[in-house]
Structure 1
Amino acid sequence: MDSDIERVPAEVGRYLSELVQRARTIYRDRLVSVGAVGSLALGDYRHGRSDIDITVVVDPAPTRLAHELADALAHPGLRCPAAGLELVVYDAGFAASGAPGAGYLLNMNTGPVLPAVVDFESVGAPGFWYVIDRAIGHQSGWTLSGHPIREALGPPARKDLLAAVSASVREHASGAGHLADNRILNGCRSVYYCRTGAWVSKRAAGRSVAAAEKRFRPLIGAAIRSFERPRESARELSAGEVDEFMAWARRTVDRISGSPVS
């Protein structure tokens, strides 16, 4: 089938072409699909700020192949041009099922900014990250190789997505390890999804929530302007205002999702 790789920004196109080639070399006819999800799929990749989010779907394969792929893609052996690569490999049956949970064969973070992670065991991993990424991939994913990624990823049930979004907001409300602007805009995207059932980029969600929620408009505007800068140049936002917004986002998401409000 035709690949969406020509839609990828030029600064990451050559990198993704090489990533796909290495995945093909390792998995051969077991490679079902390689797709871009996250900010690339949602049309809001920002060089110097965004990660490259990639989902790989494979037919049943020896465990050693996931290890080989992790070795083949590790930065700086394959130099990542973005803040980092977040790559997840799924078995085709699990990917198509729409089941909740992490369910990966490989979860890998690598790159110049991201702390390195290579994990082959999904048991015990917080599943909400992966449920949301698969939902975005099913709705908007770009196919880089093989079967259409939107078909390879089955849609999670609405109740599972609402639970994942609620867990995501709680994670970002804690503040641990997250830039303030990303916390705000993740909260906006979570509220937007709960209200509309659609996934949009964080900045688009921020603009929508700011238009509807006048009291948070200055804070969201500041978060969007900060998010447009490289990570190392992110602006400080008022901790009290960020906490107030995240508490509101959590209450809003929990009310819509039916999660216990606390």
Structure 2
Amino acid sequence: MRGCATATNCGTTRRDAHAPADTGRMSRPTAPPRELRPYLGELVDRTRAVCGPRLVSVLAVGSVALGDYRHGRSDVDVTVVVDDSLPRRALPELAGALAHPALPCPAAGLELVVYPAGFAARPSGGAGYLLDLNTGPSLPERAAYDPGEGPAFWYVLDRSIAHQCGLPLFGGPVRGVIAAPGRSAVLAALRASVREHAEGEGHVADNRVLNGCRSAVYCRTGHWFAKRAAAEAVAAAEPDFRPLITEALRSFARPREAAPALPAAAVGDFLGWVAGQVDAAAGTGGGPGAP
């Protein structure tokens, strides 16, 4: 997504005073950003054309749902839920209909995941998708159909965010469609995410830091916050990391291609601290959001 030794200790008066306010968490957008509305409308129309009556729901998740979409920097994250009876031959057709530039993506990219309704309605720590599509001007093109071919943590985190604050574009209420993964599954996914951001290739430095902030705040509160709100909370509570987080926020305001490098050692130290927060939260078996 150094200071306090455990995630439960992060719940002290000092740190809670700097946590994002509940009102900020609840004031989610009721519609997508204006610059995305024609695109998302066409995306829904094309998805309906391919899936027909077997389309259950289309949700905006990620930065759009969290109210932190930055045009020219953010991806558009979309979750699609279909009836389990959807013929599998429809999936490549859907990928082709939505791929950039057949459907020009105005954002940095589209990350779209299709789930069968039966899987999506159950808490799970698995990937479980039918289609994972990455496309757009700044994303490597990818259409995957086997949920076992890669790590599951991305999908667990997306479904957790979707359950909390997914923005419906088509279909019924979010929580009637997407089940929340259990806290232990989310914490395991967060640990894998932090490891990926520390060791994986292709991640913008500011995104490594801001995702780490969001992970740390989730451990503290059991809720998902926009990257900027989470970063401000961690910077206020952890002065040692404030300069790095401030630089990450400045970088995040720029287009992805113009993002400057951040000190690798400082980013590594910060992500090591975040990993400690996640491990400590997992070790307690309790805290906010625990079942």
TM-score bracket for the superposition, by shorter chain length: over 0.9
Once residues 148 and 214 of structure 1 are traced to their aligned partners in structure 2, the CA distance between those partners, rounded to angstroms, is 40
* Equivalent position amino acid for 2:38 in 1: R
Indicate the larger mover: 235-244 or 217-226.
235-244
1:25 deviates by: 0.8
Aligned-pair distance for 1:5? 9.6
Unmatched tracts of structure 1, length 5 or more: none
Letter in 2 for 1:162: L
Stretches of structure 2 that go unaligned for 5 or more consecutive residues are 1-27, 285-291
CA RMSD for the aligned pairs?
1.5
1:34 matches 2:61: no
One of 101, 120, 132 as aligned partner of 2:145: 120
Deviations 1:52-77 (A, max 9, x none): 00000000210011111001001001
Call closer, same or farther: CA 1:246–1:73 in 2, change over 3 Å. Answer: same
Question: Does structure 1 residue 22 correspond to structure 2 residue 49?
Answer: no
Of 140, 163, 168, the residue aligned with 1:143 is 168
Is 1:57 matched up with 2:81? yes
User: In 1, distance between residues paired with 2:259 and 2:283?
Assistant: 34
Equivalent residues, number: 256
Query: What are the Cα deviations for residues 86-128 of structure 1, in whole angstroms up to 9, with x where unaligned?
Result: 0000000000102111100000000011000000111132110
Does 1:216 find its partner at 2:273? no
Deviates more, 1:144-153 or 1:24-33: 144-153
1:12 aligns with 36
- In the TM superposition, structure 1's runs of 4+ consecutive aligned residues that sit over 3 Å from their partners are none
Partner amino acid, structure 1, of 2:202: G
**Cα deviation 1:212-243 (Å, max 9, x = unaligned):** 10110111011011111110111221111111
Verify: 1:164 aligned to 2:178, yes or no.
no
Preserved contact between residue 86 and residue 110 of structure 1 (Cα < 8 Å)? yes
For normalisation by structure 2, the TM-score amounts to: 0.85
Percent of aligned pairs with the same residue?
59
Quick one: which of 203, 208, 212 aligns to 1:183? 208
Question: Corresponding residue for 2:108?
Answer: 83
Native 8 Å contact 2:29 2:66 kept in 1: no
Higher RCO by CA contacts (8 Å cutoff, separation 6 or greater): 2
1:175 is displaced (CA, Å) by: 4.5
Once the two structures are TM-superposed, the CA of residue 248 in structure 1 deviates from its matched residue by: 1.2
- Mapped to 1, the partners of 2:106 and 2:200 lie a distance apart of 27
For 2:168, what is the secondary structure of its paired residue?
strand
Whole-angstrom distance in 2 between the partners of 1:175 and 1:182 = 12
Q: Which amino acid aligns with 2:184?
A: K
